Chain A
């Protein structure tokens, strides 16, 4: 407990004010110190009682309880953690890691567990109905301004119509939200305190997963989100009845776009730095996220021969990207480029393919023809890997899956049963619309012929699978690379003597966002195909994989490049 001497009378005789502050019982000096909250059922109890704000008003108007935005996010994180647990992530993630990170965040961003800075009061803005109190705030922030501050999407028209409908109400109505601090939340200066957003919940999750070195990559996590295995879209459905969501809350909690890899990743890094986290647990070569391990997975999924794994390991070793220090995240260290494990592994495979097959739209087909000849004439012994056959098989499956994905995108349902409305005023309109939507869905659903989509498919780590049992020869895992390798000085090397770089000079990522610039027309089609394969698997643009490929190439051929640059400068002189 609090044992300091009172600044005024030097006594140690403390009591607590209604506002939760310590005051000296002897001289009635009130301090700024607030009582630290120590409630351990923070996460399990959804009715949060620990925010040191004073007594909580319950059911004041029958409309719901008071709740703060961070409580909402806490619930979201809880749901997400539970879903991850259901997917097989260890329970520590939710109860220990994620919870600790969240608590730390609340503390650092001064939303809880701390002294509330003086002067920053959260005006108890009205809850979904107009108040009759005269508004004493001298500058009421313009509603439109607040709406525009939010990062979440919304159409301007809705915002304007909301704003104008609001202004039609009485003057004394303040901007409102179901949550107590919705408007304040949007007003806060983002840069200083890393304001919480829905995509950031995924950053939290990923950070926790990374801390625990769980076998889920960020691209997988985001894929699970899109496939609905992890609550994100419409997660507010799971808020308890009493937590009413309306007005500006919608801007904070309602998502209308798929989470973006780069955004989630960058926010995770910012978050790790903001929370002053130490060096993350080591990523060693037995971790799933280590490129050697991830390469196994991706090679399997890409239907490539297992033998390629030797090559990926060689590349990894040669350029040092398998080193613990390279792979492990040290938050706040701005000098090292942050590792995107999934993209890195995919890029390694691409580089290996370039090393062995060149991928200039000519050589790989030549090699394939030789392999084909050999395979035709030799029935015994394993099959040699034929690039052409592989291309045909994989392209076919890729096209089928891509087509399915494109249709899924068009069929994506964004709304849910729980209605969202900006204000009580348009609640009935919203409900009517919802009813009509449901009616129309039923009417045309019946005319669709086929049965409506079954429940979402089970989450699967592999999007493409190939079985060696298939007699149609569509699985290439066991194929041999013999036809394209040769022995030199006791070492196996590629027959291909050439290599082309994705870019001669790497760009400054901080300035233009990329290390290199990828345009499909500038590169061989085989290369584009390989990029698009991994682009599909990881659900990211091919240009990001291309960046990693260029980065790896520059490390791999560093000496040669350096020599060449030196030579060039010498020449110029």
Chain B
């Protein structure tokens, strides 16, 4: 509160705004609405020098209030937004777009589509060119809705496939194709612009694949993943990988698709597939990479209890130990980890817990611990002891294996 006894329009509205913001932060929607009624007369004064003017404030604040207020409904909201659209020509398409999002979130797909179509037909002198990006977005979302319509028709068709209803199918099919055309055109346009367009890319690729245009699909996905103008996006690589897999492409191309994903997101769930492919490779470099990949994945807390991951690591480590070749690989990987992995993965507490909760997990981990830390390490000792006590055969085998290869540990840790 200010004990200033001077007051002018600007200060008064600033104070009003801070009351609104306080109320909103405390979720007091009625109070926020009340103060907003006193703020709106700011519209009658020109603020074009400020970065954010009252019209934008009112749009954003009003939207928030109408979203959360108990007595608000979609009708009120729509009425409000229509007014906001007339407030600022420079923001027109943005307001339209956000309105559409809101409609979609409330399940009003048809209204959303109408609004998108209406916005698409908007023209306003030089503003049309200035708001080109927003326009592309509007067209893209309309295309997205077309895609969903296409998808619906497609499902209808595949349902009917069982009933063999000829005539109905034809019209459905035609509709389906027309949705395809409408969707494809605009989806193609938006993904040309550097950006993150996961949803649009997926849908577009889906369409292309359905109609058999695999070349285009491949090109699109490659662009999306490898064009440096686009922001680094792990998903792009995932989509490419999945597509290549669907197409039955060679291991070589699959591996190259996942390589960058490993660089960007070493903890990605596809790292297991990646490691599996790499381990089986005939090329030494690839196998080396595989080891690096699986170690890197297990650096992350989310993987601590992932049996598959541990079994991949265990398998590869076991294989290396048995072959007695490339122990230096393990040494290299272990070098940067030996200070913290023991506490992170192989504490006595974890040994107990893993044994109690997941015997397979404890088996795989024990194997790795035994190789990396030797037979006397806490984890291995506890688990193998428990395992042998429980007379589980594989634990006895494990114990023998580790004991036999104990010198390896010495070489690694040295």
Does chain A have a CB within 8 A of B69? yes
Does chain B have a CB within 8 A of A437? yes
Smallest CB-CB separation from A436: which chain B residue? B83
Query: A412 — which chain B residues lie within 8 A by C-beta?
Result: 7, 12, 38
If over half of A's interface residues share one DSSP class (helix, strand or loop), that class is named, otherwise mixed; here it is: helix
Between-chain CB contacts (< 8 Å), 9 pairs: A155-B46, A155-B47, A257-B9, A409-B15, A433-B44, A436-B43, A440-B37, A445-B34, A447-B30
Query: A433 — which chain B residues lie within 8 A by C-beta?
Result: 43-44
B7 adjacent to A258 (CB under 8 Å): yes
Does chain B have a CB within 8 A of A309? no
A414 adjacent to B79 (CB under 8 Å): no
User: Quick one: given A258-B8, A260-B6, are A403 and B1 in contact (CB under 8 Å)?
Assistant: yes
B49 adjacent to A156 (CB under 8 Å): yes
User: Quick one: given A155-B47, A415-B44, A437-B44, are A256 and B19 in contact (CB under 8 Å)?
Assistant: no
Query: B228 — which chain A residues lie within 8 A by C-beta?
Result: none
- Interface residues in A440-459 (C-beta closer than 8 Å to B): 440-441, 443-450, 452
How long is the Cα–Cα vector from A437 to B83 in the complex, in angstroms? 10
CB distance from A238 to the nearest CB of B (A): 20
- Interface residues in A57-91 (C-beta closer than 8 Å to B): none
- Interface residues in B67-83 (C-beta closer than 8 Å to A): 69, 71-72, 76, 79-80, 83
How long is the Cα–Cα vector from A443 to B11 in the complex, in angstroms? 25
- Interface residues in B12-60 (C-beta closer than 8 Å to A): 12, 15-16, 18-19, 29-31, 33-38, 40-41, 43-49, 58
A447 adjacent to B72 (CB under 8 Å): yes
Number of A-B contacts (CB under 8 A): 126
User: Quick one: given A447-B29, A448-B30, are A414 and B41 in contact (CB under 8 Å)?
Assistant: yes
How long is the Cα–Cα vector from A443 to B43 in the complex, in angstroms? 15
A157 adjacent to B49 (CB under 8 Å): yes
Smallest CB-CB separation from B66: which chain A residue? A447
CB distance from B72 to the nearest CB of A (A): 7
B43 adjacent to A256 (CB under 8 Å): no
Does chain B have a CB within 8 A of A328? no
CB distance from A413 to the nearest CB of B (A): 6
User: Quick one: given A409-B7, A410-B35, are A440 and B58 in contact (CB under 8 Å)?
Assistant: yes
| Interface mask (B247-278 → A, CB under 8 Å = 1, otherwise 0) | 00000000000000000000000000000000
B34 adjacent to A449 (CB under 8 Å): yes
> Which of A402, A410, A452 is B16 in contact with, Cβ under 8 Å?
A410
A256 adjacent to B5 (CB under 8 Å): no
Does chain A have a CB within 8 A of B383? no
Smallest CB-CB separation from A434: which chain B residue? B44
- Interface residues in A297-335 (C-beta closer than 8 Å to B): none
Does chain B have a CB within 8 A of A158? yes
How long is the Cα–Cα vector from A402 to B3 in the complex, in angstroms? 8
Smallest CB-CB separation from A441: which chain B residue? B37
B34 adjacent to A441 (CB under 8 Å): no
> Which of B7, B65, B83 is A439 in contact with, Cβ under 8 Å?
B83
B46 adjacent to A157 (CB under 8 Å): yes
A450 adjacent to B5 (CB under 8 Å): no
> Which of B3, B8, B71 is A535 in contact with, Cβ under 8 Å?
B3
B41 adjacent to A157 (CB under 8 Å): no
Smallest CB-CB separation from B16: which chain A residue? A410
Count residues on chain A whose CB falls below 8 Å from chain B CBs: 46
> Which of B5, B8, B66 is A541 in contact with, Cβ under 8 Å?
B5
CB distance from A522 to the nearest CB of B (A): 17
Does chain A have a CB within 8 A of B62? yes
| Interface mask (B327-359 → A, CB under 8 Å = 1, otherwise 0) | 000000000000000000000000000000000
Does chain A have a CB within 8 A of B87? yes
> Which of B12, B30, B36, B65 is A414 in contact with, Cβ under 8 Å?
B12
Does chain B have a CB within 8 A of A468? no
CB distance from A527 to the nearest CB of B (A): 15
- Interface residues in A382-415 (C-beta closer than 8 Å to B): 402-403, 406-407, 409-415
- Interface residues in A407-430 (C-beta closer than 8 Å to B): 407, 409-415, 430
User: Quick one: given A155-B49, A414-B41, A434-B44, are A257 and B58 in contact (CB under 8 Å)?
Assistant: no
Query: B47 — which chain A residues lie within 8 A by C-beta?
Result: 155, 157
CB distance from A151 to the nearest CB of B (A): 13
User: Quick one: given A155-B49, A447-B29, are A414 and B3 in contact (CB under 8 Å)?
Assistant: no
Does chain B have a CB within 8 A of A153? yes
Query: B44 — which chain A residues lie within 8 A by C-beta?
Result: 415, 430, 433-434, 437
How long is the Cα–Cα vector from A158 to B35 in the complex, in angstroms? 25
Does chain A have a CB within 8 A of B2? yes
How long is the Cα–Cα vector from A541 to B34 in the complex, in angstroms? 29
User: Other CB < 8 Å A-B pairs besides A156-B49, A413-B41, A436-B86, 19 of them?
Assistant: A157-B47, A161-B46, A257-B8, A258-B5, A412-B38, A414-B41, A436-B87, A437-B43, A440-B83, A441-B37, A443-B76, A446-B71, A447-B69, A447-B71, A448-B34, A449-B34, A450-B30, A535-B5, A539-B5
How long is the Cα–Cα vector from A402 to B72 in the complex, in angstroms? 33
How long is the Cα–Cα vector from A413 to B7 in the complex, in angstroms? 12
B8 adjacent to A410 (CB under 8 Å): no
B41 adjacent to A415 (CB under 8 Å): yes
A158 adjacent to B1 (CB under 8 Å): no
Query: A415 — which chain B residues lie within 8 A by C-beta?
Result: 41, 44
Does chain B have a CB within 8 A of A212? no
B38 adjacent to A413 (CB under 8 Å): yes
User: Quick one: given A158-B45, A433-B44, A447-B29, are A257 and B36 in contact (CB under 8 Å)?
Assistant: no
